[in-house]
Chain A
């Protein structure tokens, strides 16, 4: 589903002295079946932006189009189920949403709320637990007996089980170990390859460089830049104004260019970097 923000402004506690701007006149298109990363400092408005997509919060002014569905300031709180079924959302530290007495029931919770039959939901739970890298033997355990990393996987399975077309991820790998982090990110990349739209909020620029095709930079409640990661990481203005940091490979390349190397465009992934170095060492 194509997601289009049109002049969206959101203010918290409108008309009170505590009023704060969450989003300021944001217009933006997030393309269908793409992997889009949203980056920006803490408090810049990233989470506020994505919460509009499944109408958890509504704009103070402006509209958001999600497929054929339009969300406006007047949108009613009822009948949002079909929208929320299509837009799955993995929150920061999603393990805090677990509550059932078995992992299986917890994964089935979302699908059954969205009207899936019990047997289909069970089937889906079986599939999802394997997809997130845990065995079927986990289905009968209590989610509260699992480790933090396992709970995270169960929570992600619970969101994926409703089979959403668009998946929003709010720092899904925060606090995971490097191996777990890569497994989870690869899982989302695979889901995208199977035809889903992925929107990832992250502070990890390496993840952006390695996985995302599109990138949105948010700063002070406004969209500062939209485009391909490679172009944006080479935008001097964003970097000098301290709005954006670079992936590790680009930082390394910057240091190399102070010696005998030169990079017309900074490489952003390790493979790009090594290819460039190889070429410059052996090239001519």
Chain B
């Protein structure tokens, strides 16, 4: 349960941590976009160097990023194999039925693999260095212009931050309930499929009951402290845009230009 690295914050301090979360959020998505501009060894290599450099200055152990790949492993493997054996080619090295192995296929498979690595590393970098609450604050801030078309930005942001707050709470609750049922003799992951599904009923029902009661308590607590959404709510956490954030955006522009240059080279 606690092994999941993707989507998890790691307390720390470095230049990446200090960047404005709005900037980091936008840069991450922008970077994922420009990954698709890369089309040759040099451009993929350049992006990989950039990502590794970002990991280096974040002062986080590279091991965390490699662990972040693990939950996606099957998807990566499946896609890579698909590219490897199903890329049509006039000059196959090996051929059997509908399966074709060619240098083109191998090249494309390698590119796809690097693309996955780039995207997962950069998004892991975002979540490792940014607290969920900062991410939800920056989504709120980025969506603000939508208020013009009456989109309920503050409510959506509140829902988002409550949902994020509930994740660790529910993980704790699940661990607690699983322990309690284990102590009453439940063996998870034993027996046939039906047996395994049945062994989750004693977790799911208490989990539902307690998440409803936690939600109910939260609603009462918010109401009793006079929560009211709408105009004029001040912020407890104020985001501040500094010069380093401009520099970070500048670096992204520079990278785009270099990438466009290498691409057509």
Known interface pairs A78-B190, A144-B209. Does A56 touch B179 (Cβ–Cβ under 8 Å)? yes
Q: Answer yes or no: B144 CB below 8 A from chain A CBs.
A: no
- State whether A110 touches B180 (Cβ < 8 A): no
- State whether B180 touches A96 (Cβ < 8 A): yes
Contact with B along A243-275 (1 / 0, CB 8 A): 000000000000000000000000000000000
What residues of chain A lie closer than 8 Å to B180, measured between beta carbons? 89, 91, 94, 96-97
Q: Answer yes or no: A17 CB below 8 A from chain B CBs.
A: yes
**Which among B96-104, B198-206, B244-252, B254-262 touches the partner chain?**
B198-206
Q: How far is the CB of B125 from chain A (nearest CB, A)?
A: 15
Tally of chain A residues near chain B (CB < 8 A): 28
Q: Answer yes or no: B243 CB below 8 A from chain A CBs.
A: no
Q: Answer yes or no: A88 CB below 8 A from chain B CBs.
A: yes
Q: How far is the CB of B209 from chain A (nearest CB, A)?
A: 7
Residue in A81, A96, A113, A158 whose beta carbon sits within 8 Å of that of B177 in the complex: A96
- State whether B210 touches A13 (Cβ < 8 A): no
Q: Answer yes or no: B185 CB below 8 A from chain A CBs.
A: yes
What residues of chain B lie closer than 8 Å to A84, measured between beta carbons? 182-185
- The complex places the Cα of A81 from the Cα of B183 at a distance, in Å, of 9
B interface majority secondary structure = helix
Known interface pairs A17-B61, A109-B202, A144-B209. Does A85 touch B177 (Cβ–Cβ under 8 Å)? no
Q: How far is the CB of A148 from chain B (nearest CB, A)?
A: 11
Contact with A along B165-196 (1 / 0, CB 8 A): 00000000100110111111111001000000
Q: Answer yes or no: B10 CB below 8 A from chain A CBs.
A: yes
- State whether A56 touches B184 (Cβ < 8 A): no
What residues of chain A lie closer than 8 Å to B61, measured between beta carbons? 17
- The complex places the Cα of A78 from the Cα of B189 at a distance, in Å, of 10
- State whether A89 touches B186 (Cβ < 8 A): no
Known interface pairs A78-B190, A96-B210, A99-B201. Does A18 touch B10 (Cβ–Cβ under 8 Å)? yes
Interface centre among A54, A99, A158 (most CB of B within 10 A): A99
- State whether A78 touches B184 (Cβ < 8 A): no
What residues of chain A lie closer than 8 Å to B185, measured between beta carbons? 81, 84-85, 110, 113-114, 162
Interface centre among B177, B182, B185, B205 (most CB of A within 10 A): B185
Q: Closest residue of chain B to A158, judged by CB?
A: B184
- The complex places the Cα of A85 from the Cα of B205 at a distance, in Å, of 23
Known interface pairs A18-B10, A78-B190. Does A96 touch B206 (Cβ–Cβ under 8 Å)? yes
Q: Answer yes or no: A159 CB below 8 A from chain B CBs.
A: yes
What residues of chain A lie closer than 8 Å to B224, measured between beta carbons? none
- The complex places the Cα of A172 from the Cα of B81 at a distance, in Å, of 55
Q: How far is the CB of A245 from chain B (nearest CB, A)?
A: 27
Q: Closest residue of chain B to A55, judged by CB?
A: B182
- State whether A88 touches B206 (Cβ < 8 A): no
Q: Answer yes or no: A181 CB below 8 A from chain B CBs.
A: no
Residue in B10, B182, B183, B187 whose beta carbon sits within 8 Å of that of A159 in the complex: B183
- State whether A91 touches B201 (Cβ < 8 A): no
- The complex places the Cα of A99 from the Cα of B184 at a distance, in Å, of 13
Q: How far is the CB of B11 from chain A (nearest CB, A)?
A: 8
Q: Answer yes or no: A51 CB below 8 A from chain B CBs.
A: yes
Q: How far is the CB of B80 from chain A (nearest CB, A)?
A: 28
Q: Closest residue of chain A to B175, judged by CB?
A: A56
- A residues apposed to B, CB below 8 Å: 13, 17-18, 51, 54, 56, 78, 80-81, 84-85, 87-89, 91, 94, 96-99, 109-110, 113-114, 144, 158-159, 162
Q: List 11 A-B contacts (CB under 8 A).
A: A17-B10, A18-B10, A56-B182, A81-B187, A91-B183, A94-B180, A97-B184, A97-B202, A97-B206, A98-B206, A162-B185
**11 other A-B residue contacts (CB within 8 Å) besides A80-B187, A96-B176:** A56-B183, A78-B187, A89-B183, A91-B176, A91-B179, A96-B180, A96-B210, A97-B177, A97-B184, A109-B184, A159-B183
Q: What are the 6 A-B residue pairs with the smallest beta carbon separation, nearest first? A: A113-B185, A110-B184, A99-B205, A97-B180, A89-B183, A114-B185
